[in-house]
Amino acid sequence: MNFVLNLVLLYQLVVLYFMAHPHYIKNENLNCTYDEVIPNSMHTAFVFRIFKDKYIYDYRHLHSEFELIFIKRGNGNKNIGDINQACKKNDLTLIGSAIPHFYYLNPDKGQSDTEVWVIHFDKYLLGSNFLEYSENKLIKKLFEASSKGVQFNYKTSLNAFVLMEKIKKVKSNDRIILFIQQLFDETDTFVSDILLMH
Protein backbone atom coordinates (compact mmCIF):
# COMPACT_ATOMS: atom_id res chain seq x y z
CA MET A 1 0.00 0.00 0.00
CA ASN A 2 2.84 2.41 0.84
CA PHE A 3 4.45 1.67 -2.52
CA VAL A 4 1.26 2.60 -4.41
CA LEU A 5 0.82 5.77 -2.35
CA ASN A 6 4.45 6.76 -2.98
CA LEU A 7 4.00 6.08 -6.69
CA VAL A 8 0.89 8.31 -6.80
CA LEU A 9 2.73 11.08 -4.93
CA LEU A 10 5.69 10.82 -7.30
CA TYR A 11 3.35 11.06 -10.29
CA GLN A 12 1.69 14.16 -8.82
CA LEU A 13 5.08 15.79 -8.22
CA VAL A 14 6.13 15.12 -11.81
CA VAL A 15 2.88 16.61 -13.14
CA LEU A 16 3.29 19.68 -10.92
CA TYR A 17 6.90 20.11 -12.05
CA PHE A 18 5.97 20.08 -15.73
CA MET A 19 3.07 22.48 -15.18
CA ALA A 20 5.43 24.92 -13.41
CA HIS A 21 8.37 24.30 -15.77
CA PRO A 22 6.90 23.87 -19.25
CA HIS A 23 9.25 22.82 -22.01
CA TYR A 24 9.33 21.48 -25.52
CA ILE A 25 10.26 17.84 -25.98
CA LYS A 26 12.89 17.04 -28.55
CA ASN A 27 11.80 14.59 -31.24
CA GLU A 28 14.94 12.47 -31.57
CA ASN A 29 13.71 10.70 -34.70
CA LEU A 30 13.42 13.94 -36.66
CA ASN A 31 16.33 15.87 -35.12
CA CYS A 32 14.05 18.80 -34.34
CA THR A 33 15.12 21.31 -31.73
CA TYR A 34 12.29 21.73 -29.23
CA ASP A 35 14.07 21.03 -25.98
CA GLU A 36 14.19 24.67 -24.86
CA VAL A 37 12.63 25.67 -21.59
CA ILE A 38 10.11 28.45 -22.07
CA PRO A 39 9.72 31.53 -19.88
CA ASN A 40 8.22 30.42 -16.57
CA SER A 41 11.19 28.53 -15.18
CA MET A 42 13.53 31.47 -15.88
CA HIS A 43 11.12 34.01 -14.38
CA THR A 44 10.78 36.05 -17.56
CA ALA A 45 7.46 37.38 -18.83
CA PHE A 46 8.32 37.73 -22.53
CA VAL A 47 10.45 35.64 -24.87
CA PHE A 48 10.98 35.96 -28.64
CA ARG A 49 12.42 32.99 -30.53
CA ILE A 50 12.99 31.81 -34.08
CA PHE A 51 12.81 28.11 -34.92
CA LYS A 52 14.44 26.88 -38.13
CA ASP A 53 14.52 23.23 -39.06
CA LYS A 54 14.04 20.96 -42.04
CA TYR A 55 10.71 19.90 -40.56
CA ILE A 56 8.81 21.01 -37.49
CA TYR A 57 7.05 18.02 -36.01
CA ASP A 58 6.02 19.15 -32.57
CA TYR A 59 4.71 16.99 -29.76
CA ARG A 60 1.38 18.03 -28.25
CA HIS A 61 2.21 20.27 -25.29
CA LEU A 62 0.83 23.12 -23.22
CA HIS A 63 2.23 25.90 -21.06
CA SER A 64 0.93 28.79 -18.99
CA GLU A 65 2.24 31.44 -21.40
CA PHE A 66 0.27 32.82 -24.33
CA GLU A 67 1.93 32.06 -27.66
CA LEU A 68 1.88 34.14 -30.84
CA ILE A 69 3.12 32.05 -33.77
CA PHE A 70 4.03 33.37 -37.24
CA ILE A 71 4.97 30.90 -40.00
CA LYS A 72 7.67 32.54 -42.12
CA ARG A 73 8.33 29.41 -44.21
CA GLY A 74 6.52 26.09 -44.33
CA ASN A 75 3.09 24.53 -44.57
CA GLY A 76 1.24 21.73 -42.85
CA ASN A 77 -1.21 21.37 -39.98
CA LYS A 78 -1.75 22.93 -36.60
CA ASN A 79 -3.70 21.34 -33.79
CA ILE A 80 -5.01 23.68 -31.09
CA GLY A 81 -7.18 22.16 -28.40
CA ASP A 82 -9.35 19.73 -30.33
CA ILE A 83 -9.23 21.68 -33.62
CA ASN A 84 -7.01 20.62 -36.52
CA GLN A 85 -6.42 23.07 -39.40
CA ALA A 86 -4.16 23.47 -42.38
CA CYS A 87 -1.58 26.24 -42.06
CA LYS A 88 0.94 27.86 -44.37
CA LYS A 89 3.39 30.71 -44.88
CA ASN A 90 2.22 34.00 -43.28
CA ASP A 91 -0.18 32.20 -40.92
CA LEU A 92 -0.45 34.03 -37.57
CA THR A 93 -2.11 32.37 -34.59
CA LEU A 94 -2.54 33.34 -30.94
CA ILE A 95 -2.82 30.40 -28.55
CA GLY A 96 -4.11 30.99 -25.05
CA SER A 97 -2.72 29.87 -21.72
CA ALA A 98 -2.71 26.12 -20.97
CA ILE A 99 -4.20 25.17 -24.37
CA PRO A 100 -2.74 21.89 -25.72
CA HIS A 101 -1.27 22.39 -29.20
CA PHE A 102 1.24 21.20 -31.77
CA TYR A 103 2.35 21.99 -35.33
CA TYR A 104 3.47 19.73 -38.19
CA LEU A 105 5.25 21.78 -40.86
CA ASN A 106 7.03 20.74 -44.04
CA PRO A 107 9.16 22.94 -46.31
CA ASP A 108 7.38 24.91 -49.03
CA LYS A 109 8.01 23.78 -52.60
CA GLY A 110 11.51 24.83 -53.60
CA GLN A 111 12.57 25.44 -49.97
CA SER A 112 14.83 23.21 -47.88
CA ASP A 113 13.53 24.12 -44.42
CA THR A 114 10.79 25.66 -42.30
CA GLU A 115 10.94 28.77 -40.14
CA VAL A 116 8.59 29.86 -37.37
CA TRP A 117 8.79 33.06 -35.29
CA VAL A 118 7.29 32.80 -31.80
CA ILE A 119 6.52 35.18 -28.96
CA HIS A 120 5.70 33.66 -25.57
CA PHE A 121 4.29 36.08 -23.03
CA ASP A 122 2.72 35.96 -19.62
CA LYS A 123 -0.93 37.01 -19.28
CA TYR A 124 0.08 39.18 -16.34
CA LEU A 125 2.92 40.90 -18.18
CA LEU A 126 1.48 44.25 -17.02
CA GLY A 127 0.03 43.09 -13.72
CA SER A 128 -2.89 40.97 -12.63
CA ASN A 129 -5.48 43.77 -12.89
CA PHE A 130 -4.41 45.04 -16.31
CA LEU A 131 -7.20 43.31 -18.25
CA GLU A 132 -9.87 44.54 -15.83
CA TYR A 133 -9.46 48.23 -16.72
CA SER A 134 -12.13 49.55 -19.11
CA GLU A 135 -9.61 50.77 -21.70
CA ASN A 136 -8.29 47.22 -22.04
CA LYS A 137 -11.62 45.48 -22.71
CA LEU A 138 -10.72 44.70 -26.34
CA ILE A 139 -7.41 43.15 -25.31
CA LYS A 140 -9.30 41.10 -22.72
CA LYS A 141 -11.71 39.95 -25.44
CA LEU A 142 -8.77 38.92 -27.62
CA PHE A 143 -7.16 36.95 -24.79
CA GLU A 144 -10.46 35.23 -23.99
CA ALA A 145 -10.89 34.25 -27.65
CA SER A 146 -7.39 32.74 -27.66
CA SER A 147 -8.66 29.89 -25.47
CA LYS A 148 -9.89 28.39 -28.75
CA GLY A 149 -7.01 29.72 -30.82
CA VAL A 150 -7.22 32.93 -32.84
CA GLN A 151 -6.18 33.01 -36.46
CA PHE A 152 -5.60 36.47 -37.92
CA ASN A 153 -6.16 37.72 -41.45
CA TYR A 154 -3.35 38.26 -43.95
CA LYS A 155 -2.93 42.02 -43.35
CA THR A 156 -2.74 41.60 -39.57
CA SER A 157 -0.28 38.72 -40.02
CA LEU A 158 2.06 40.89 -42.09
CA ASN A 159 1.80 43.74 -39.54
CA ALA A 160 2.72 41.29 -36.80
CA PHE A 161 5.71 40.07 -38.82
CA VAL A 162 6.96 43.68 -39.20
CA LEU A 163 6.67 43.99 -35.41
CA MET A 164 8.57 40.74 -34.90
CA GLU A 165 11.35 41.97 -37.18
CA LYS A 166 11.67 45.08 -34.99
CA ILE A 167 11.59 42.96 -31.82
CA LYS A 168 14.36 40.76 -33.21
CA LYS A 169 16.70 43.77 -33.45
CA VAL A 170 16.29 45.28 -29.97
CA LYS A 171 17.14 44.39 -26.35
CA SER A 172 14.76 42.48 -24.10
CA ASN A 173 13.24 45.50 -22.28
CA ASP A 174 12.64 47.29 -25.57
CA ARG A 175 11.01 44.14 -26.94
CA ILE A 176 8.30 44.32 -24.29
CA ILE A 177 7.69 48.02 -24.99
CA LEU A 178 7.38 47.41 -28.75
CA PHE A 179 5.04 44.46 -28.18
CA ILE A 180 2.76 46.42 -25.85
CA GLN A 181 2.73 49.45 -28.14
CA GLN A 182 1.75 47.27 -31.10
CA LEU A 183 -0.88 45.49 -29.02
CA PHE A 184 -2.54 48.82 -28.23
CA ASP A 185 -2.10 50.21 -31.77
CA GLU A 186 -3.61 47.12 -33.39
CA THR A 187 -6.19 46.00 -30.82
CA ASP A 188 -9.20 47.30 -32.75
CA THR A 189 -7.92 45.63 -35.91
CA PHE A 190 -6.96 42.44 -34.07
CA VAL A 191 -10.38 42.05 -32.49
CA SER A 192 -12.38 42.95 -35.60
CA ASP A 193 -10.30 40.61 -37.78
CA ILE A 194 -10.39 37.58 -35.49
CA LEU A 195 -11.28 34.33 -37.17
CA LEU A 196 -12.03 31.87 -34.39
CA MET A 197 -10.80 28.39 -35.18
CA HIS A 198 -13.99 26.29 -35.41
Q: In the prediction, which pLDDT does 177 show? A: 84
Q: In the prediction, which pLDDT does 197 show? A: 57
Residue 47 lies in a domain: yes
Considering its fold, how many domains does the chain have in total? 1
Residue 147 lies in a domain: yes
At position 174, the amino acid (one-letter code) is: D
Residue spans of alpha helices (H) in the chain: 2-20, 137-145, 154-169, 172-192
pLDDT band at 15 (very low <50, low <70, confident <90, very high): very low
Q: In the prediction, which pLDDT does 37 show? A: 46
What does the pLDDT look like over 95-129, one tens digit per residue?
A: 998 888 889 999 999 989 999 999 988 888 878 88
Residue range 151-159: mean pLDDT, rounded: 87
Q: In the prediction, which pLDDT does 32 show? A: 39
pTM: 0.75
Q: What is the DSSP letter of 1?
A: -
Q: In the prediction, which pLDDT does 2 show? A: 61
C-alpha 44/C-alpha 95 separation (Å) is 18
Q: In the prediction, which pLDDT does 76 show? A: 96
CATH number at residue 117: 2.60.120.10
Whether the CB-CB separation of 95 and 80 falls below 8 Å is answered with yes
pLDDT at 38 over 80: no
Number of H helices, E strands in the chain: 4, 10
pLDDT at 195 over 80: no
Residue 28 lies in a domain: no
Give which of 60, 48, 63 is closest to 17, Cα–Cα. 63
The percentage of the chain sitting over the pLDDT mark of 90, rounded to a whole number, equals 22
Residue 85 lies in a domain: yes
Whether the CB-CB separation of 93 and 78 falls below 8 Å is answered with yes
Residue 126 lies in a domain: yes
pLDDT at 48 over 70: yes
Whether the CB-CB separation of 119 and 167 falls below 8 Å is answered with yes
Residue 170 lies in a domain: yes
Neighbour-count burial of 17, counting CB atoms closer than 10 A to its CB (0-12 exposed, 13-18 middle, 19+ buried):
exposed
Residue 65 lies in a domain: yes
Residue 8 lies in a domain: no
Where in the sequence is the domain holding 167, given as residue range(s)? 43-196
